[in-house]
């Protein structure tokens, strides 16, 4: 499996401040013309797009699984739930679900949310002992009048819905935590370089969009910390008339700019998914770049027409795309030190 620490630990080639400098000089991306050569345009002539699944990071097995569910007449959300569950159950992935790195007290706490084509949303935050927070979030959406359940309440709700109590702290994650404890600097951003998120977006055979994201959050975070991933509009947003977006990286930056909602609103204004992701990345760079030069955020977006796009603050962010007969992992464009 791809070691995403490589990405987040990377020595950056150029500072984010450089990225801001460039952005200040260059013209804003043009309002989108019809761009039939843009990556991910499936049906430029207004036909219903072919099903497509896109996810943060190198998860082609998960996007393929999601696509198979959709091609077998599942909804976009059915497919996404199946794909995200694969990653949540994989102990090798140390930033999502089982095997996720714990907080400073050695406790694994999970955040997740889902949003469907009807604008329904469900979310769980600070959830412990439950391997599949994405499925609990879906239950919150479908079986309660609420959007978000947190902590002990989310856990009790999960148990009431038949989820099993499980130990999510693997030996490997515990060993890393104990290593970290030897020198653990007890400041709020410590360990942020070791975390990220599975965010997944899809269009199904009916042309409907859904999305989900799931994470164990920032490694060695302060107990109780919740990131962007379960926050509707920050880590995920879906508007079936327009498109969908999701985020990975330092959640605090995504939350302070409401990244996913911002991207969908940029798409509503006519920007391509890539231009919209880029604008949202620029927003972070311009407002918070100087004090967060080494922090990474990556965005992915999918439009109603099946066009997708991505952007990140720094190099190293990649994403997976599955369509009928093709499953790819691609590098995202980025701001820092980049003049385009």
- The residues that are catalytic are 197
Among 19, 83, 249, 289, binds ligand GLY (CB under 6 A): 249
Q: How far is the CB of 225 from ligand GLY (least distance, A)?
A: 8
**Nearest partner of 150 among 248, 237, 224, judged by Cα:** 224
65: Cα within 13 Å, side-chain hemisphere: 15
Q: How far is the CB of 259 from ligand GLY (least distance, A)?
A: 10
Q: Which two tokens stand for residue 70?
A: 């959709």
Site membership for ligand GLY, residue 265 (CB under 6 A): no
Long-range pairs of 23-28 with CB within 8 A, sequence gap ≥ 24: 23/282, 23/285, 23/286, 23/335, 24/286, 26/339, 28/279
Q: How many of the chain's residues bind ligand GLY (CB under 6 A)?
A: 12
Residue 310: in which H helix or E strand, if any? strand 308-312
Please give the residues from 268 up to 297 whose contact with ligand GLY meets the rule CB under 6 A.
Answer: none
Q: How far is the CB of 231 from ligand GLY (least distance, A)?
A: 10
Q: How far is the CB of 254 from ligand GLY (least distance, A)?
A: 6
Site membership for ligand GLY, residue 248 (CB under 6 A): yes
Beta carbon nearer to ligand GLY, 122 or 249: 249
Per CB under 6 A, which region of 66-74, 133-141, 225-233, 236-244 contacts ligand GLY?
A: 225-233
Q: Which two tokens stand for residue 215?
A: 């994470």
How far the first Cα of the chain sits from its last, in Å, is 30
Q: How far is 291 from 307, CA to CA, in rounded Å?
A: 33
Beta carbon nearer to ligand GLY, 243 or 249: 249
Long-range pairs of 7-12 with CB within 8 A, sequence gap ≥ 24: 7/196, 7/296, 7/316, 7/317, 7/318, 8/192, 8/193, 8/194, 8/195, 8/196, 8/249, 8/296, 8/316, 9/193, 9/194, 10/314, 10/315, 10/316, 12/293, 12/294, 12/314, 12/315, 12/336, 12/337
Q: Which two tokens stand for residue 317?
A: 């962010």
What is the pattern of x (binds ligand GLY, CB under 6 A) and - over residues 63-102? ----------------------------------------
Site membership for ligand GLY, residue 243 (CB under 6 A): no
Q: How many CB atoms lie within 10 A of CB 175?
A: 10
Among 227, 273, 298, 316, binds ligand GLY (CB under 6 A): 227
Q: How far is the CB of 304 from ligand GLY (least distance, A)?
A: 25
Site membership for ligand GLY, residue 228 (CB under 6 A): yes
Per CB under 6 A, which region of 27-35, 248-256, 264-272, 313-321 contacts ligand GLY?
A: 248-256
Please give the residues from 202 up to 221 whose contact with ligand GLY meets the rule CB under 6 A.
Answer: 215, 217-218
282 by Cβ neighbours in 10 Å (0-12 / 13-18 / 19+) ranks as: buried
The residues, ordered by sequence, that sit 6+ positions from 82 with a Cβ below 8 Å of its Cβ are: 65, 66, 69, 74
Site membership for ligand GLY, residue 251 (CB under 6 A): yes
Per CB under 6 A, which region of 125-133, 172-180, 227-235, 274-282 contacts ligand GLY?
A: 227-235
Please give the residues from 131 up to 170 whose contact with ligand GLY meets the rule CB under 6 A.
Answer: none
Q: How far is the CB of 203 from ligand GLY (least distance, A)?
A: 23
- Kindly list the distances between the CA atom of residue 296 and the CA atoms of 43, 116, 164, 195, 252, in Å, as whole numbers in the listed order: 32, 27, 34, 10, 11
Q: How far is the CB of 121 from ligand GLY (least distance, A)?
A: 17
Site membership for ligand GLY, residue 197 (CB under 6 A): yes
Per CB under 6 A, which region of 8-16, 226-234, 280-288, 327-335 contacts ligand GLY?
A: 226-234
Secondary structure string (H, E, C) spanning 229-242: CCCECCCEEEECCC
Residues lying near ligand GLY in the complex (CB under 6 A) are found at 195, 197, 215, 217-218, 227-229, 248-251
């Amino acid at each position: 499996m791809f070691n995403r620490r490589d990405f987040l630990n990377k020595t950056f080639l150029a500072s984010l401040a450089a990225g801001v400098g460039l952005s200040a000089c260059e013209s804003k991306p043009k309002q989108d013309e019809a761009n039939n050569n843009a990556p991910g345009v499936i049906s430029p002539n207004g036909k219903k797009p072919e099903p497509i699944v896109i996810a943060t990071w190198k998860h082609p097995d998960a996007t393929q699984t999601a696509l198979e569910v959709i091609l077998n007449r599942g909804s976009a959300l059915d497919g996404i739930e199946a794909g995200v569950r694969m990653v949540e159950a994989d102990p090798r992935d140390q930033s999502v679900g089982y095997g996720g790195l714990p907080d400073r007290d050695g406790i694994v706490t999970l955040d997740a949310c889902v949003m469907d084509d009807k604008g329904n949303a469900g979310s769980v935050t600070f959830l412990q002992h439950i391997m599949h927070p994405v499925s609990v979030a879906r239950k919150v959406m479908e079986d309660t009048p609420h959007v978000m359940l947190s902590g002990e309440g989310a856990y009790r709700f999960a148990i009431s819905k038949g989820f099993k109590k499980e130990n999510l702290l693997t030996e490997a994650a515990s060993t890393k935590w104990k290593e970290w404890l030897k020198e653990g600097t007890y400041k709020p951003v410590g360990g942020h370089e070791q975390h990220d998120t599975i965010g997944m977006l899809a269009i199904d055979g009916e042309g409907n969009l859904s999305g989900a994201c799931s994470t164990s959050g920032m490694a060695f975070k302060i107990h109780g910390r919740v990131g962007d991933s379960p926050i509707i509009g920050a880590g995920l947003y879906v508007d079936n008339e327009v498109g969908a977006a999701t985020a990975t990286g330092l959640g605090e930056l995504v939350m302070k700019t409401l990244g996913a909602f911002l991207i969908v609103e940029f798409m509503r204004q006519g920007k391509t998914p890539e231009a919209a992701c880029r604008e949202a990345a620029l927003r972070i760079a311009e407002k918070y770049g100087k004090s967060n030069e080494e922090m990474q955020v990556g965005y992915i977006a999918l439009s109603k027409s099946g066009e997708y796009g991505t952007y990140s603050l720094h190099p190293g962010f990649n994403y997976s795309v599955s369509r009928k007969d093709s499953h790819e992992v691609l590098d995202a464009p980025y701001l820092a030190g980049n003049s385009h």
